[in-house]
């Protein structure tokens, strides 16, 4: 068994549904209830590509947040670490504006001083724009910007610095002085660096190809609340034999 001192969770596809309008996105009620219970015994942090303005009011119960995939780290006690040496995202903004003519949605993610950290281009509502956007992302990456787009998804992020959820996982748990095991729960290959930085890596399955994930354990999304309830009910002692979890592979 392993005593868990911090539970770090991704947002989209992990504790919240994929493919819903931004304004309607919320943590699953059953999952939120269990996270609120856990925060009484262990740190609970959200490590997400979303910005603080989006995630904070949806998860005020959390101990901390690593937003924009780690470029903006904030704790509930008021401590903040902002990324320095940011690249100019003007070309990404130009691409986003051009894509909007096809019906895409642009999301600008900003840091604590309103500095631009990420330009997100989402073509969920305009699938015909996908090829246009993806084709024009390569020159941005070749020019030194940090571009992420997972195959099969309908959005892409262009970052002003290298996104690294693994670095964010290590940094936020160090800031919180976590002495026991760190658990990371995520759902995509973009979470792999965080899986590798954590002591216990749990992938949430919702129909995506799980072979891309470097997690050791798997929980079905429909049973995530049950898994978290079992964890808190055991006094935060994790075991591979506990309810709702199985080893990957």
CATH of domain 2-82+164-247: 3.40.50.1000
Query: What pLDDT is attached to residue 1?
Result: 66
Domain ranges for the chain, please list them. Answer: 2-82+164-247, 90-159
Report yes or no: 70 and 47 within 8 Å, Cβ to Cβ. Answer: yes
CA-CA distance, 235 to 42, in Å (whole number)? Answer: 10
Residue corresponding to tokens 């003519």: 101
Q: What are the angstrom distances between the C-alpha of 50 and each of 22, 80, 100, 110? A: 10, 16, 20, 10
CA-CA distance, 74 to 82, in Å (whole number)? Answer: 8
Residue pLDDT tens, the chain, 249 long: 699 999 999 999 999 998 888 889 999 999 999 999 999 999 999 999 999 999 999 999 999 999 999 999 999 999 999 899 999 999 999 999 999 999 999 999 999 999 999 999 999 889 999 999 999 999 999 999 999 998 888 999 999 999 999 999 999 999 999 999 999 999 999 999 999 999 999 999 999 999 999 999 999 999 999 999 999 999 999 999 999 999 997
């Amino acid at each position: 068994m392993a005593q868990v001192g911090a539970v770090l969770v991704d947002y989209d596809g992990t504790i919240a549904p994929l493919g819903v309008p931004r304004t309607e996105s919320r943590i699953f009620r059953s999952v939120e209830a269990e996270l609120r219970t856990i925060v009484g015994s262990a740190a609970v942090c959200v490590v997400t590509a979303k910005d603080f303005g989006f995630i904070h009011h949806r998860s005020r119960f959390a101990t901390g947040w690593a937003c924009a995939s780690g470029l903006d780290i904030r704790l509930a006690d008021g401590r903040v670490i902002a990324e320095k040496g940011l690249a100019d995202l003007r070309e990404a903004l130009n691409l986003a504006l051009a894509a909007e003519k096809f019906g895409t949605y642009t999301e600008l993610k900003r840091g604590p001083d309103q500095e631009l950290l990420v330009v997100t281009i989402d073509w969920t509502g305009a699938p015909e724009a996908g090829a246009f956007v993806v084709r024009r992302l390569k020159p941005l990456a070749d020019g030194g910007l940090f571009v992420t787009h997972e195959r099969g998804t309908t959005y892409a992020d262009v970052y002003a610095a290298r996104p690294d959820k693994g670095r964010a996982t290590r940094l936020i748990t160090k800031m919180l002085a976590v002495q026991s095991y760190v658990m990371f729960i995520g759902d995509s290959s973009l979470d792999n660096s965080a899986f590798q930085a954590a002591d216990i890596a749990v992938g949430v399955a919702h129909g995506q190809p799980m072979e891309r994930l470097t997690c050791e354990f798997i929980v079905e999304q429909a049973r995530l609340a049950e898994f978290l309830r079992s964890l808190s009910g055991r006094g935060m002692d994790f075991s591979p034999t506990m309810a709702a979890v199985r080893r990957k592979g």
